[in-house]
């Protein structure tokens, strides 16, 4: 397991095989769902999501971040990551599971987990050696 600070440092170093990643944000909308309903808000702090070509994800919302590694599925222009029991880096333990689906044609993703269910706009960062993430 790569420590979170080392993982974050690897995300920031361009040119390394580990540097390929996507950074995603929900700039316009936050959607929170319960079993009964979903509610949208336009007054919120955007979530910050990073995805590496190895399946490491960091999902930051409000007072902390979930971090860990998920299982990746690549099919054409689609990238799907299922990340279970991500560690919470905030004040109190709050592990969560997420699924992220990214369409690399238009750089739009959707994220579902920890009661969030919403679209994200993504930007590619770096390039993996021969990976083509």
Q: Please say whether the beta carbons of 106 and 123 come within 8 A.
A: no
Average pLDDT over residues 77-101: 94
Q: Is the predicted pLDDT of residue 8 greater than 60, yes or no?
A: no
User: Quick one: three-class SS letters along 45-105?
Assistant: CCCEEEEECCCEEEEEECCEEEEEECEEEEECCEEEEEEEEEEECCCCCCCEEEEEEEECC
Note the pLDDT of residue 3: 46
Radius of gyration of the chain measured on its C-alpha atoms: 14
Interval 13-39: pLDDT, tens: 333 333 469 999 999 999 999 999 999
Query: What's the chain's average pLDDT?
Result: 84
* CA dist list (Å): 12 to 18, 49, 64: 9, 14, 19
Q: Is the predicted pLDDT of residue 1 greater than 60, yes or no?
A: no
């Amino acid at each position: 397991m790569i420590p979170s600070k080392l993982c974050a440092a690897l995300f920031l170093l361009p040119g390394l095989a580990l540097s390929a990643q996507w950074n995603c944000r929900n700039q316009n909308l936050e959607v929170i769902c319960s079993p009964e309903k979903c509610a949208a808000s336009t007054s919120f702090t955007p979530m910050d999501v990073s995805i590496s070509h190895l399946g490491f994800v960091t999902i930051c919302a409000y007072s902390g971040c979930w971090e860990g590694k998920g299982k990746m599925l690549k099919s054409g222009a689609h990238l799907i990551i299922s990340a279970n029991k991500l560690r919470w880096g905030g004040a109190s333990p709050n592990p969560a599971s997420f699924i992220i689906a990214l369409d690399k044609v238009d750089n739009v993703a959707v994220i579902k987990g920890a009661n969030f269910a919403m679209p994200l706009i993504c930007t590619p960062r770096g390039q993996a050696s021969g990976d083509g993430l």
